[in-house]
């Protein structure tokens, strides 16, 4: 029985939400296991548009169970807002359809405030975070001072931990950053109410998933952010605060890697990233702006314009090596329609030496000169294609060239925002 991981193969924002939505039809249980509400998935289903930040996109499929695992840092305000919106639109009518890890770490107002004032103080050296408090929450987790969801159900334990944390956080906020303090009692009362509302969803999710595997259910793991934002393997320090690679999804869900049957990496037909950090193929000209506008490359979480550039094959080869990719789900091929010529970065040149692999240092990235192959573009609307052979010959050639330079088969091609604007070349659950 196959259990499939879907994750970002670039710098995030690759369109994982739509891919997970497509694959959810063939799965029984959909799992989110890393990150926080700094991630956003936008889905278009018929005339309806959905934006999720914490709940797995599989929630839109009737009869599927969705899980938020222990590796996620949870802002209860955001989660409860998503739950309320779904219920108001006729979804999530059974609370058992969404299970949240008892041991997931909770994000508090002081995390968000610390995130914001730190970035302000860094000035030109800022990382470019979403200012959602994700990094500071993971810091508390690593420092063993974090507060977990299960403690919201124990008022005495929660009050003691919150008071201790606020003593330190408020000292730092007021004395070092000159910011406002976070009050104890209103925060305590607010979060105890959140605990009451979340209680029907809280569970030992690792145990639940183990039971799902034993009964023969198919699991689909939904990654957050992208491989190059991994805290260990990304373009540090311009990364997120969790492990976004396949191993992180196992740790963040409590499911052993021996249970995983395949990994699909999601990649745009070009490349984008948000915030600071290296970006070898970035286009700072009219073509870059053309791709941004045509692809609506503005963050679903922050609204920030994304940086745009040509497809970067060394990045995908790196993602293949780290994650063991079995296939690529290629998104937004339609965005490139109308360009007379398209470039693909096939290698790097650093100090005059050709290099096939991604460098590990920032200084190495800063010296990169992309080595490009140029191909002919195509014109016309391709979003009505339903088979690969329906695409223009030059578009087919472009996809096959991406397979050649990355060494990974393209198993899905997305040619529009809607569910049916998808060419499923191979189903990972049946491969």
Q: Which residue has the higher pLDDT, 323 or 51?
A: 323
Paired sense of beta strands 202-203 and 98-101, if any: parallel
Q: Which residue has the higher pLDDT, 21 or 163?
A: 163
Mean pLDDT across the stretch 34-43?
82
302 pLDDT tier (thresholds 50, 70, 90): low
Name which of 8-17, 47-56, 95-104, 385-394 the model is least confident about: 47-56
* DSSP letter assigned to residue 46: T
Question: Cα separation of 334 and 345, whole Å?
Answer: 19
* Residues contacting 196, CB < 8 A, separation 6+: none
pLDDT in tens, 139-170: 999 999 999 999 999 999 999 999 999 999 99
> H helices of 155-265, where?
155-171, 184-198, 205-214, 246-251
pTM of this prediction? 0.94
* Residues contacting 174, CB < 8 A, separation 6+: 180, 181
Give me the pLDDT at residue 119, please: 84
Give me the pLDDT at residue 207, please: 98
Catalytic residue numbers read 13, 41
Give the rounded percent of residues in the chain with a pLDDT score beyond 90: 87
First-to-last alpha carbon distance for the chain, in angstroms, is 11
Q: Is residue 1 predicted with pLDDT exceeding 60? A: no
* DSSP letter assigned to residue 249: H
Give me the pLDDT at residue 44, please: 75
Give me the pLDDT at residue 319, please: 98
Distances (CA, A) of 183 to 110, 147, 349: 10, 17, 54
Whether 350 and 359 have beta carbons less than 8 Å apart is answered as: yes
Among 60, 121, 116, 118, which residue's Cα sits nearest to residue 85? 60
Give me the pLDDT at residue 120, please: 84
Mean pLDDT across the stretch 178-203?
97
Mean pLDDT for all residues in the chain: 94
pLDDT in tens, 337-380: 999 999 999 999 999 999 999 999 999 999 999 999 999 999 99
DSSP H helix total and E strand total for the chain? 12, 20
Give me the pLDDT at residue 168, please: 97
Give the rounded percent of residues in the chain with a pLDDT score beyond 70: 98
Give me the pLDDT at residue 50, please: 84
pLDDT in tens, 78-112: 999 999 999 999 999 999 999 999 999 999 999 99
Q: Is residue 49 predicted with pLDDT exceeding 90? A: no
Whether 6 and 220 have beta carbons less than 8 Å apart is answered as: yes
């Amino acid at each position: 029985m196959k259990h499939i991981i879907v994750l970002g193969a670039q710098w995030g924002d690759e369109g994982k939400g739509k891919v997970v939505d497509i694959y959810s039809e063939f799965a029984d249980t959909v799992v989110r296991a890393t990150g926080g509400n700094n991630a956003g998935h936008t889905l278009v289903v018929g005339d309806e548009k959905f934006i999720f930040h914490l709940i797995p996109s599989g929630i839109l499929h009737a009869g599927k169970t969705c899980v938020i695992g222990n590796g996620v840092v949870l802002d209860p305000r955001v989660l409860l807002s998503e739950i309320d919106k779904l219920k108001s639109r006729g979804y999530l009518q059974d609370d058992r359809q969404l299970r949240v890890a008892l041991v997931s770490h909770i994000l508090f107002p002081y995390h968000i405030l610390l995130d914001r004032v730190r970035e302000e103080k860094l000035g030109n050296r800022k990382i470019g975070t979403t200012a959602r408090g994700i990094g500071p929450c993971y810091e508390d987790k690593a420092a063993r001072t974090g507060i977990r969801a299960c403690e919201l159900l124990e008022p005495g334990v929660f009050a003691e931990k919150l008071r201790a944390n606020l003593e330190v956080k408020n000292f730092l906020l007021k004395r070092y950053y000159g910011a406002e303090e976070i009050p104890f009692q209103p925060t305590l009362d607010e979060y105890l109410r959140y605990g009451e509302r979340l209680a029907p969803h809280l569970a030992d999710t690792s145990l639940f998933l183990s039971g799902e595997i034993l009964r023969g259910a198919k699991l689909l793991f939904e990654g957050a952010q992208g491989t190059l934002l991994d805290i260990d393997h990304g373009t540090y320090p311009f990364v997120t605060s969790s492990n976004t690679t396949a191993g992180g999804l196992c740790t963040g869900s409590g499911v052993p890697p021996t249970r995983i049957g395949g990994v699909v990496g999601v990649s745009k037909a070009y490349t984008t990233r948000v915030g600071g950090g290296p970006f070898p193929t970035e286009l700072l000209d009219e073509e870059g702006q053309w791709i941004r506008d045509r692809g609506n490359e503005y963050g679903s979480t922050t609204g920030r314009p994304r940086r745009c550039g040509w497809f970067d094959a060394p990045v995908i080869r790196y993602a293949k090596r780290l994650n063991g990719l079995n296939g690529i789900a290629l998104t937004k091929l339609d965005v490139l329609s109308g360009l007379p010529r398209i470039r693909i970065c096939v290698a790097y040149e650093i100090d005059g030496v050709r290099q096939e692999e991604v460098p590990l240092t920032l200084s190495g990235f800063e010296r990169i000169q992309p080595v490009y192959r140029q191909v002919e573009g195509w014109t016309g609307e391709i979003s009505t294609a339903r088979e690969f052979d329906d695409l223009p010959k030059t578009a087919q050639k472009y996809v096959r060239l991406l397979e050649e330079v990355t060494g990974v088969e393209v198993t899905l091609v997305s040619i529009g925002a809607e569910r049916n604007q998808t060419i499923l070349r191979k189903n990972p659950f049946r491969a």
